[in-house]
Amino acid sequence: MRPNHGRKARVIAKIKGFTDQEPESANEASGKWISVHKPKGDDSEIVTVSFGDQSASRKDSYELDYCYDRNEGNSLIFSREVNPLIEDVFNGHNATVIAYGARGSGKTFLIQGSEEEPGLAVLAMTKILFMAEESGKLIAISCYEISRDHAYDLLDPERHEVLVWEDVARGKIQLKGLSQVPVKSIQEFQKLYLSGQNSYKQPQNIMAEHRSHKGLIIHVFHGDKSDALPLGKMNLVDLAGYEDGRKKSTDGVILLDNNKINKSIYALQNVVYALNANESHVPYRESKLTRMLRDSLGGTNKILMVTCLNSSFCQDSLYMANLASRSCKGTSRIIPDSTKKTKSKVRPMVLSSCKSRIPGSVSATVTKQIGTRVWFPENEANVKASAIKGRKLFDEACHSTKSKKASQEESLSLEIDSTIEHTMEVNLTFLCHRYVQEKNSSVISDATVPLVQEPSSLQAFGAEETDLPIKAFSTEETKMLDKVVVTNADNHDEATPNINSNAKALSFVEADQPLDRENNFFLVNKNESPPISARLQDLSNSLKLLYSSTPSCIEIPPKTDVSFDGQVSTEILEPKTPEPSFPVNDKLEIADINCSPWQAFSARSSKMKNSLVDEYIKFLNRASKEDLKRLKGIGEKRATYILELREESPEPFKNLDDLKEIGLSAKQIKGMMTKEIGGLFN
């Protein structure tokens, strides 16, 4: 990869080449719309991409590591940008190439290519196969698709869902259910890859057009035998085009879909930004894509982000260039003067900025749309602070290389001149995006059961994850867990079962543990954890106290004090019990009134259980690390992980199911609590 200024991710752009269908006049027009300044020609380490008609009063310009022009094709991009990464893969690192951009901006053309012009995937595979043959390495591929935050195996005819399993202790990822198919020739690769990429059958009743992210993983193994260990891998990702979340908003489904697509792009940009800025927290968990790529993004791994830009006017392209420029900067963002002058009462959020697309009104549109900020009062910003932590790209002012005057003018116009109507419009987009993000973040779609994974990913975790120390595998573990899933390339049916057998091997290791099958395997500190958590003991004690002080039967006032229509007035019936009190309008509580002793006992036990669960969850959401470690089953690693989750979302646990996120099933938690309660009566 070319000079990277010490950053982990290189951020470049590619202006879409002219298609055969485009008339000559279109070429001329687009030449005016987008231009690139390369101070040192091809050797430039920073280039400036400018958008705007020459007749416009000013242009919007963004700095990127490089920008490939219309006439520069896939093979040039491959030789200058991707080829050097292949060396790294053969040296045990992971490399990731991500193409993103507006709809129709040439992402597929870049990654997949055409018959006449092979894409980066084919060019990379050709080189990898050549190197593998020379050095005696086995190559396999996986193809997946992410649609609406769910990943599917594209090499599996049934397209089973792929689950992301995390080994929270070791910070590793296993893509459970993702086939790895060995490949020996480029023809074999093309057949597999293209059949996978193009085989999507659109569900009829879901939406008018299916849009998804598509990923290819090229795995390189240490040797050429089927049991060789993984060495490194190259990911190539074609991200579905960025979309204005409000487009087609009459169709709620598509609106939601657009936001999900954009969410992945935002999440990725945030991860790249955090990595480039060397931030201690990298928000991998914000999307399925970043979770899947986690072991390829951090540490010594290399990332190449390619922003595909439409060559003629496209507001989305402009916005993508803006995003790319900011993630490119990482450590050296420039905040416009006007932002600094604003007396800290506000917090800037840079948002999707697409208004009406009126060709010919370029400059006016751009002036208003770029870097549109939504200002939150400080207190509101504080409330949101934890939720947006790790989303730095969206809480800093945009960086662009406009002249200072132009920058000030724009900032002023944005802060002062923005009409209420415009602000509301952007606010709506933002709220919609936030709503989808927050809603999604509260849904844990994957089983995140801790597992061990490829040794190759040992290199994948760098300084930002030193809180998850990597424990060396024993030879036995390594043998058992890292068997290559080798399948017959012509027989897809075998692919998934083989993966499953790999998963069984993992379960087998876990099954060796007598208790807590899913988790004990990685509880490195399990012997150090106190046998009974003092905190849980405290909780249990308070519950016991509560139990003894709660009247077994609530005295109800005479019937005249009960509100209309048979509804019970909660005010009147509020039992005067110590905190926490049971909800008085709870049906069970009312049922106590005339119920049998057994029913009363069951009802109360059930309430106790719920209350204990609530306390447990509250505790996980709030306790200090030291206190967390006092809980049975929560060692150093899990406590660290819980704090990490809490950084991303203030209260990550809402119910027992959410505890899957830390590798504890609801059943395990219940079992642990039953023991604690039982202990109280000993």
Ligand X SMILES: Nc1ncnc2c1ncn2[C@@H]1O[C@H](COP(=O)(O)OP(=O)(O)OP(=O)(O)O)[C@@H](O)[C@H]1O
Residue 101 known to bind ligand:
yes
Q: Is 581 helix (H, G, I), strand (E, B) or coil?
A: coil
Select 19 or 674, whichever has its Cβ closest to ligand X.
19
- # of chain residues touching ligand X (CB under 6 A): 13
Q: Which of 129, 192, 308, 489 binds ligand X (CB under 6 A)?
A: 308
Q: How far is CA 661 from CA 241, 530, 533, 621, 628, in A?
A: 30, 22, 21, 13, 15
Q: Verify binding: residue 310, ligand X, rule CB under 6 A.
A: no
Site for ligand X in 234-263 (CB under 6 A): 241
Q: Which two tokens stand for residue 448?
A: 């995140």
Beta strands in 269-423 (DSSP E): 302-309, 346-347, 376-377
Q: How far is CA 412 from CA 407, 416, 524, in A?
A: 8, 6, 56
Residue 106 known to bind ligand:
yes
Q: Is 345 helix (H, G, I), strand (E, B) or coil?
A: coil
CA angle 668, 673, 676 (to 5 degrees): 135
Task: Provide φ and ψ at 71, rounded to 5°.
Answer: -85, 0
Residue 103 known to bind ligand:
yes
Q: How far is the CB of 243 from ligand X (least distance, A)?
A: 9
Q: How far is the CB of 286 from ligand X (least distance, A)?
A: 21
- The total of other beta-carbon atoms located within 10 Å of residue 7's CB is 21
Site for ligand X in 86-115 (CB under 6 A): 101, 103-109
Beta strands in 30-130 (DSSP E): 34-37, 47-51, 60-64, 66-68, 94-101
Q: How far is the CB of 19 from ligand X (least distance, A)?
A: 4
Q: How far is the CB of 77 from ligand X (least distance, A)?
A: 10
Q: How far is the CB of 249 from ligand X (least distance, A)?
A: 19
Contact 672, 533 (CB under 8 A): no
x-marked contacts with ligand X along 181-220 as a string, rule CB under 6 A: ----------------------------------------
Q: Which two tokens stand for residue 538?
A: 């405290």
Q: Name the segment binding ligand X (CB under 6 A); options: 15-23, 138-146, 426-434, 642-650.
A: 15-23
Instruction: Show Cβ contacts of residue 58 under 8 Å, excluding neighbours closer than 6 positions.
Output: 52, 363, 367, 402, 403, 406, 409
Residue 108 known to bind ligand:
yes
Q: Verify binding: residue 19, ligand X, rule CB under 6 A.
A: yes
Check whether the bond before 580 is cis (ω within 30° of 0): yes
Q: Which of 8, 9, 13, 17 binds ligand X (CB under 6 A)?
A: 17
The region, left, alpha or beta by phi > 0 then psi within -120 to 50, assigned to residue 228 is: beta
Q: Which two tokens stand for residue 61?
A: 């310009």
Q: How far is the CB of 142 from ligand X (least distance, A)?
A: 20
Q: Which two tokens stand for residue 138?
A: 């086995």
Site for ligand X in 20-39 (CB under 6 A): none
Q: Verify binding: residue 16, ligand X, rule CB under 6 A.
A: yes
Select 51 or 109, whichever has its Cβ closest to ligand X.
109
Residue among 219, 143, 179, 290 at smallest CA distance from 454: 219
Q: Verify binding: residue 513, ligand X, rule CB under 6 A.
A: no
Q: How far is the CB of 69 from ligand X (least distance, A)?
A: 10
Instruction: Show Cβ contacts of residue 455 under 8 Å, excluding neighbours closer than 6 positions.
Output: 229, 230, 473, 478, 482
Select 109 or 619, whichever has its Cβ closest to ligand X.
109
Contact 11, 324 (CB under 8 A): yes
Q: Name the segment binding ligand X (CB under 6 A); options: 16-24, 219-227, 505-513, 565-573.
A: 16-24
Q: Which residue is nearest to ligand X (CB)?
A: 17
Site for ligand X in 407-446 (CB under 6 A): none
Task: Provide φ and ψ at 679, rounded to 5°.
Answer: -60, -30
Q: How far is the CB of 38 from ligand X (least distance, A)?
A: 19
Separation CA 648–CA 644 (nearest Å): 7
Task: Provide φ and ψ at 258, rounded to 5°.
Answer: -60, -40
Residue type, 467: D
- Does an H or E element contain 151, and which? strand 150-153
Residue 102 known to bind ligand:
yes
Select 35 or 307, whichever has its Cβ closest to ligand X.
307
Select 27 or 552, whichever has its Cβ closest to ligand X.
27
Select 16 or 233, whichever has its Cβ closest to ligand X.
16
Q: Tell me the chain's radius of gyration from C-alpha atoms.
A: 28
Separation CA 320–CA 119 (nearest Å): 21
x-marked contacts with ligand X along 598-637 as a string, rule CB under 6 A: ----------------------------------------
Q: How far is the CB of 25 from ligand X (least distance, A)?
A: 17
Select 17 or 52, whichever has its Cβ closest to ligand X.
17
Residue among 570, 650, 576, 498 at smallest CA distance from 178: 498
Q: How far is the CB of 18 from ligand X (least distance, A)?
A: 6
Residues that bind ligand X (CB under 6 A): 16-17, 19, 101, 103-109, 241, 308
Binding residues for ATP, as ranges, are 101-108
Binding residues, as ranges, are 101-108
